[in-house]
Structure 1
Amino acid sequence: MYESSTDAVHPRFSRNRKIFKTGGLKIALIQSTVGPDKAKNVSHIVREIHKAKENGAQVVALGECFNSPYGTKYFEEYAEEVPAGETCRALSKAAAEAGVCVVGGSVPERCGDKLYNTCTVWDSKGKLLAQHRKMHLFDIDVPNKIKFKESDVLSPGQQVTTFDYEGVRIGVGICYDLRFGELAHIMAANGCSLLIYPGAFNMVTGPRHWELLARARANDQQLWVALVSPARDENAEYVAWGHSMVVSPWGDVVQELDEKPGTLFADISFTTLEDVRLAIPIRTQRRTDVYDTIAKK
């Protein structure tokens, strides 16, 4: 598996003082409309990856379930193996041809008799860099309102996922993973400068919590956060909020799309990252003699 960085987590972040490179990184977030035709969804994404490269992107990130409608009843039908499936092969080829790192949103993955919601990451040569299986499954049951259980179909991932690209360590979570600050903390402690969350918040949670959680994760962990949503389709069974965005380590939204299809471009400044960490030195002032957050795997 390609799921986890092997670096140990230092409880006081002391080794994070200079782990990020100077300068910056240009990223692109592709917010695409997702329909029932998998091949059409994927071919559109491939075209957009090439367009993003033409506009200077070094890392291109996609939304959750970019190749299939979102819903438990669709996962079995659209699932494919990683990395042998047709979507993975298309992403690998696109990454190599465009010469960019592709953070492949998520796809329904089949592994033996289990299904996962999985993000694959491909380097500029088309090599699989990382594979993140959504750790936290969205199970809710509100009497007389809504019942939805991803665990009826999906299995949860078991590992924290980080990868290195062009001297930058990047962490990955999927949708509901965003709500768990402990996961973000562990990725930050492992040296991440940027966290990318493909996600599909709905029309209730989106306006309430999408931006709030992105800013919270960025501010608490003093790093960049990118959220990548599908575009909103009012005729779909599941209507996504959209509003893909990039948030700075100060907790400011620096770029944001609306609900329509589009591509967001943002410059990730590592000078800004260092300025924040020097100005507010929480990383060396945590009371790990009293409390701590650790990874068990």
Structure 2
Amino acid sequence: MANVFRIALVQMAVSANKVENITKAVKLVKEAAASGAKLVALPECFNCPYGTSYFADYSEKVPGASTDALAKAASENNVFLIGGSIPEEDQGKFYNTCTVFNPEGNIIGKYRKAHLFDIDVPGRIKFKESDVLTPGSGFTVVDTPYCKIGIGICYDMRFAEMAQIYNQKGCKLLVYPGAFNMTTGPAHWELLQRGRALDNQLYVATVSPARDESASYIAWGHSSAINPWGEVIAKADSSEKIVYAEIDPTYVDEVRTQIPIGSQKRSDMYEVKG
């Protein structure tokens, strides 16, 4: 069908060398476009290692070196590009920021991670993004010729209300660059994606860095795409690779017609009585 489009999820290996990371990202965007992708997405923190000890040192302005390279890559390859995320510095504060580009190389969306990754699982993992980062204060909807797309980053996926808001704003695809770890990844990564897709009857795509066992923070990998029926339609393992999926916005409408949960909102039932 004419409105079906190919998305590429670039699960790239990220090193401590920012220039090399940017160069690799640009190369992989070109490869994805050559394979027919109309929308290409990079992982969370594609230009630097993930970790609170790295955010300030690797941070930059937006626009800056990383986003300038992505703008050029989007333009040269005639694709919509979801630029994963980078540590952004703005007026002395640091954000985990995703920029989105159109095929002309213009920024058409900018999202700062709203829900910061602050967790403590005793004996397994403790991490506190808020030690360095400031949360964003708004959501981002990107309008494309294919469909509206809602942007989140990693931990945002745990917040069902966010996905519901994007659904209400007309999004048919949610994209979450993310870097779940070896504790939460096997337990919740796929489960959360399928839940958000099934609850809202839309597509969900996630983009992780490839796994690096020598890193201080080890990413789970397994970048995936989920359809509105809650089915996994594409999934990587933990290694560096590009995963492709076909997104059909009309299938969203079909599923919503078959199981019309959106037309049966009963706010009166949700009132707390007594």
Whether TM-score is above 0.5 comes out as yes
* Aligned match for 1:112, one of 88, 91, 103: 91
2:249 corresponds to 1:281: no
Structure-1 separation of matches of 2:86 and 2:241: 20
Any conservation in 2 of the 1:34–1:230 contact (CA below 8 Å)? yes
Any conservation in 2 of the 1:22–1:270 contact (CA below 8 Å)? no
Q: CA distance change for structure 1 residues 205 and 145 in 2, over 3 Å: closer, same or farther?
A: closer
Q: TM-score, normalised by structure 1?
A: 0.89
Write out aligned runs for 1:48-197 (5 A): 48-83=28-63, 85-143=64-122, 146-197=125-176
Structure-2 separation of matches of 1:242 and 1:130: 25
CA-to-partner distance for each residue in 1:199-251, whole Å, 9 max, x for gaps?
A: 00001100110000000000000000001000001111111000000000000
Any conservation in 1 of the 2:146–2:249 contact (CA below 8 Å)? no
Structure 2 gap segments, 5+ residues each: none
Q: Which has the higher contact order (CA 8 A, sep 6+)?
A: 1
Query: How far has the Cα of 1:168 moved from its partner?
Result: 1.1
- Aligned residues, how many? 271
**C-alpha RMSD of the superposition:** 1.4
Query: More deviation in 234-243 or 21-30?
Result: 21-30
Letter in 1 for 2:200: Q
* Aligned match for 1:206, one of 163, 181, 185: 185
Write out aligned runs for 1:241-260 (5 A): 241-260=220-239
Letter in 2 for 1:283: G
Q: TM-score, normalised by structure 2?
A: 0.96
Structure 1 gap segments, 5+ residues each: 1-20, 293-297
Secondary structure class of the residue paired with 1:132: strand
Any conservation in 1 of the 2:125–2:183 contact (CA below 8 Å)? no
Letter in 1 for 2:197: A
Identity percentage of aligned residues: 52
Query: How far has the Cα of 1:176 moved from its partner?
Result: 0.2
Residue of structure 2 equivalent to 1:45: 25
Any conservation in 1 of the 2:124–2:183 contact (CA below 8 Å)? no
Any conservation in 2 of the 1:81–1:109 contact (CA below 8 Å)? yes
Structure-1 separation of matches of 2:175 and 2:195: 14
Structure-2 separation of matches of 1:266 and 1:159: 28
Query: How far has the Cα of 1:147 moved from its partner?
Result: 3.0
